[in-house]
Copies of this chain bind each other. A is one copy, B any other.
Amino acid sequence: MGSAEPKEPGRPDFFNEYWKRSRLCGQVGEDAIGEEIRVNGWVRRRRDLGGILFIELWDHSGLVQVVFNPDLKPDAPDVHRRGGDLRSEYCLAVRGKVTRRPEGTENPALATGKVEIVAEDFLLLSSSEPLPFEVGDATDKVDENLRLTYRYLDLRRERMQHNLRVRSKLYSFTRNYLESNAFVEIETPMLTKATPEGARDYLVPSRVNPGTFYALPQSPQLFKQILMISGFDRYYQIVKCFRDEDLRADRQPEFTQVDLEMSYIVEDDVMTMIEGYMKGLFKTILSEDIPTPFRRVDYWDAIDLYGSDKPDLRIPLELVDLGPVFREASFEPFRKILENGGVVRALPLPGGASLSRKEISDIEEKTKKWGASGLGVFQCKENDLKGPLVKFMNEEERDRLKTIGGLKDGDALFVVADSSRLKACTVLGTLRLELGKTRGLIDESAWKFLWVVHFPMFEWSEEERRWSAMHHPFTSPVLEQLDGMETSPGNILARAYDVVLNGNEVGGGSIRIHDSAVQRKVFSLLGIGEEQARERFGFFLDALSYGTPPHGGIALGVDRLAMLLCGGQSIRDVMAFPKTQKAQCLLSKAPDVVEDARLAELHIECIPVED
């Protein structure tokens, strides 16, 4: 703390060397006994025993007890008197001598619990208004809006101190790891061009170029690809990105990504790099050993087995295909669906035979909300198959159901039949998550990573009657399928990969198209005409045509990753100054109105909103 030169202590009425801490509060241990020290911090707890006053002084390192005892310091009577005026979160500098606490008064919960500082003098650095909520309180019972309004008090709480420090460690590990793997940190612009696909951009009017707008980046996608074209080989950045979406619970208008890109590589190189990263990160922050390589699951296998493209593998339930049971069965509705190319899928629930009629009907209601036209339910009680459909099945079909459905005595089986494989699986996947949570099937201590790979390249939008890119339009199709791209786009798989942790997509990436002819073909399939393509990202098509290396990369969602590492429920708890679901900062009151003159300078005006 400070330089090695001896310093003038300075005037005792100002904060200077005379008052500057010689130890952090949390580091006043037994080794300090007998030492004349100076500590700086906030009054946390305070006990006034009339004659003697105790305060716990806090800084980020911890708490230490300070005693104001006129008997021990008869030469400084006003110190005790002035101490009586101290209140919670007053900010102080204290000079005093460290002594051992009297026997029986130690506090084993504190690292400094065996000592106390006998105050010789103190300087009140600043007082505090009465607090809107208790800062020392460890619980999260305080209303979140109040916490966000007084964020500076909220951030003094141990949990928030911990969370933001973990996030900082995450950054530090990330950079060291990537730099030791030859990645170069390069900044891409924040004031950039509106992006073609995806969510809404935030726009920034240009004063110097009337009538035009910058966009804040949704991701540095095109710029990082251009850096590969520029020969930088391995790029990374921890970067703010922006999406003007209607906010769901776990979204923020600005969010942070670990963004990286590599040249002359294939999928394996990115995935191995990220596996090493996650292994190191979890070891560094949580001392957890994460096994690598991660399991890799094809998109359609993930849908078939877990009904999700970001399955939570902590839940020990898997979907099964009942096609073989009902293909030739006497129960017509299922047979018909199968004959017409539909599916009959099921989720077995061990122990589910004990579900009550009420519980079953609740589950039925939910699956309908999720989009199922109906839910078939079987329960196996005392080796007897029960359920409304049982009467339509013969002995052999019932046996086959038990075998294929993995249905043992005491279990239940939930069945969804639908013309859409994706729909049937997704409903059961949602049920899988729900049962995992409500029935306590999730191993909360587990960290289950996997890769989901081979996503479809294109999705058909019935509404818009056109194909759209499932990842983004710069993702490369699987090369062996290139020739068939125009004839059957629905079958083409993308060289895309998502990394999933405990049911959270924590990152996604792909090998990119590095051939401008292929890029044009993809645009054309997406219904982006030649002219439109030129206008939107002509500069990028140009760049592709000056010698582009094969390249690919990934972006990791830092907020979500930090949240998981902190065991939090909301990304707001790992951000210093988050916004609400109305995209407002309750602390600073942004966004706010602006003088008309300012808008005129920007060549814009507000349109009155109709009621």
- Using CB atoms and an 8 Å cutoff, list the residues of chain A in contact with chain B: 1-3, 7, 11, 14-17, 20-21, 40, 42-43, 58-60, 89-91, 93, 125-129, 131, 150-153, 155-156, 161, 164-165, 167-168, 171-172, 175, 179, 184-194, 200, 202-216, 222-223, 226-227, 229-233, 240, 242, 244, 246, 253-254, 256, 263-266, 268-269, 272, 293, 479-480, 514-516, 539, 542-550, 575-577, 579, 582-585, 587-594, 598-607, 609
What CA separation (Å) do A216 and B89 show in the bound complex? 32
25 contacts between A and B (CB under 8 A): A15-B266, A20-B264, A20-B265, A20-B266, A43-B547, A89-B547, A91-B547, A126-B545, A127-B547, A152-B229, A155-B230, A171-B185, A175-B175, A187-B575, A189-B585, A190-B240, A191-B591, A193-B588, A200-B598, A200-B601, A205-B205, A205-B604, A215-B590, A539-B589, A604-B607
Copies of this chain present: 2
Contacts A191-B202, A193-B589, A209-B591 supplied; 18 other A-B pairs, CB < 8 Å: A11-B480, A14-B479, A20-B265, A42-B547, A60-B233, A125-B514, A151-B226, A171-B185, A172-B175, A190-B240, A194-B592, A204-B204, A205-B205, A206-B591, A208-B583, A209-B583, A539-B588, A605-B605
Please indicate the chain B residues that have their CB under 8 angstroms from the CB of A179 in the complex: 168, 172
Residue in B164, B212, B216, B606 whose CB lies within 8 Å of A232: B164
**Nearest B-chain residue to A226, judged by Cβ:** B152
What CA separation (Å) do A191 and B161 show in the bound complex? 23
Residue in B16, B90, B164, B186 whose CB lies within 8 Å of A164: B186
Asked if A211 meets B606 with Cβ closer than 8 Å, knowing A91-B549, A194-B592, the reply is yes
What CA separation (Å) do A584 and B269 show in the bound complex? 36
Determine whether the beta carbon of B187 is less than 8 Å from that of A272.
Answer: no
Residue in B17, B89, B543, B579 whose CB lies within 8 Å of A546: B89
Q: SS class of chain A's interface: helix, strand, loop or mixed?
A: loop
What CA separation (Å) do A223 and B544 show in the bound complex? 41
What CA separation (Å) do A542 and B150 show in the bound complex? 9
Please indicate the chain B residues that have their CB under 8 angstroms from the CB of A1 in the complex: 265, 269
Determine whether the beta carbon of A206 is less than 8 Å from that of B602.
Answer: no
- A170 → chain B closest CB, angstroms: 9
Please indicate the chain B residues that have their CB under 8 angstroms from the CB of A254 in the complex: 189-191
- A221 → chain B closest CB, angstroms: 12
